[in-house]
Chains A and B, each alone.
Chain A
Amino acid sequence: MNLITVSGPPSSGKTSVILKTIESLKKRGIAVGVVKFDCLSTDDDLLYEKAGLPVKKGLSGALCPDHYFVSNIEEVTEWGLSLKLDLLITESAGLCNRCSPYIQDIKAVCVIDNLSGINTPKKIGPMLKMADIVIITKGDIVSQAEREVFASRVNTVNPSAVIMHINGLTGQGAYELSTLLFDETITLDTLKGKKLRFSMPAALCSYCLGETRIGASYQMGNVRKMEMGEKQ
């Protein structure tokens, strides 16, 4: 089985791109399944189901979705193997721009959209910088110039990635992407022992654990204060 992790800011077009790409993969007889990770709610599983794909969803709720992802990816992989999938795709929404779910030696795809503004590439951390393939969507609603500027900004933060433009609505470019996703020489049996490409932040403070009260006496663990300058 091949495993591919797809990540990207909310509503950037991940599901649209995955669905269009799977259409081409299916025509080649490749058995694909999808797992969607999200925070509070998602209907993506219904979309995948409607497309006739085996799907699982995981909601992290009060936890960081990317931390939740790593804690569950091994079991998810086992699920894919038990279904004898050729290709398992995980979709997760990057929420804090700091974490990223990419795993070493596992193909990592980041989806971002032209509408998010040309300064976005610089704001997204490892999720964009460490991806193997960067997909830029929604090119249909901006000009050629904006597409070129955006792509060049992506290139400056991740010069080694393959950058592709895909229209999530019409599927233009999705066939081309499909040719880069499945590699029949890869057989993944387990994720045990593999590592994340980038460490997740060491955030553990009282608020992570459910504290709601404000004030220094309630703050424990990893607390950091802003630089506010000299007191008058």
Chain B
Amino acid sequence: MITAVQLQKETIERLVVTYPFLESFFSDNNLDVIQKEGLTLEEYFNTFDEEEIENKALDKEQALNSMVEYINGMVQFLGSTEEEAIRTLTILPGTDKSGNPEQFEQITIKQSEIICIVGPTGSGKSRLLGDIEWVAQNDTPTSRKILINEEKPDMKWRYSSGNKLVAQLSQNMNFVMDLTVREFLELHAKSRMVENEEEVIARIIEAANNLAGEKFIPETPITSLSGGQSRALMIADTAILSKSPIILIDEIENAGIDRKKALELLVSEEKIVLMATHDPLLALMGDKRIVIKNGGIHKVIDTSQNEKALLEELEKMDNRVQDLRSRLRHGEQLDNVNF
């Protein structure tokens, strides 16, 4: 852990060599250090006169403390790797909306499992996802507890900005940035500090193209991707580039991509997938489903052999529908189709 006193004595040059990520700190905080690399931080801050301090809305002490926090936070973020792998997620029972205790001992979900959450509107599906994201410790309306690797988790999961326990796939398929696919992924990769950037980006684009029907290239602007392509890119990006070990999907309906492959991609990256859905095609792709009633977990159903067989039938039907759709798109007539 570095302290403010130590920091002040270091030259900017040395600091940037030791902590390369400081470059973005300087630029995002509008601190121009070009040609001042030889100065110690203390000397650097002393180069500002009253007027500059006023104009830049700079507070030296605050800037310094903030830098210390940033360095210590980043060092911890970069250092946390394998040893923190999440193997299991455990839900311990709380109470339903009427205050009745939930009737299960514990639910344990393992890496690469897909769990669906079903239940009527307002029953508490989103709340359960919320409990997991907040690693509830008997301090949410449900009084549930969440364990990670069978232990009481580190509360850093709640507050850290880079190391979030949970990534959430948006329902929305619009991007608000005006960048090419490559620039977009570079930006994300930089914010995650990945080392083999090029390789990771190539992998994401390949995986995304594998999910969507029409292929796109790195130079395609993200704003001109189709709905299906955007969704494919988002899923591939979340699977491969997000550090979060758990993925929440709250209600995805038909989205113009190969959803089976999408789920396979997510679990192949050793993620835990939790999905609130009522689409039988998705629900049966799960290993288990959690049934919510009146705010409580009512039961947990393992997807049965018969259900898996039904899923195959459903997939065939779905393929037929997709096929008809694509034939319509190509201007064909559907007179002689028997279903």
Contacts and interface: CB of A to CB of B under 8 A. Distances in A.
Contact of B241 (A145, A146, A172): A145
Interface in B167-181: 167-172, 174-177
B62 interface: yes
B191 interface: yes
A21 to B, nearest CB: 14
B188 A121 contact: no
A121 B161 CA distance: 14
Chain A, interface size: which category? 35 or more
B137 to A, nearest CB: 11
Interface in A109-140: 114-115, 117-118, 121-122, 125-126, 129-130, 139-140
A42 interface: no
Given A115-B176, A144-B238, A148-B188, A157 B139 contact: no
Contacts of A156: 24-25, 28-29, 70
B57 interface: yes
Contact of A159 (B69, B140, B141, B238): B69
B184 interface: yes
A145 B175 CA distance: 10
Contact of A114 (B27, B70, B159, B176): B176
A142 B139 contact: no
Given A145-B188, A162-B159, A176 B234 contact: no
A144 B169 contact: yes
A129 B237 contact: no
A182 to B, nearest CB: 13
B334 to A, nearest CB: 36
Interface string A186-212: 000000000000100110000000000
Contact of B175 (A27, A125, A143, A152): A143
Contacts of A145: 184-185, 187-188, 234, 237-238, 241-242
A154 B73 CA distance: 13
A175 B140 contact: yes
Contact of B170 (A27, A126, A144, A153): A144
A151 interface: yes
Contact of A157 (B29, B73, B175): B29
Given A142-B170, A145-B237, A156-B24, A201 B62 contact: no
B184 A151 contact: no
B176 A155 contact: no
Given A122-B28, A155-B161, A146 B54 contact: no
A144 B168 contact: yes
Interface in A66-100: 98
Contacts of A162: 159
A141 B170 contact: yes
B59 interface: yes
A155 B172 contact: no
B191 A146 contact: no
A141 B59 contact: no
16 contacts: A117-B176, A126-B59, A129-B66, A140-B170, A142-B170, A143-B234, A143-B237, A144-B168, A144-B237, A146-B176, A149-B187, A152-B162, A152-B192, A155-B161, A175-B130, A176-B134
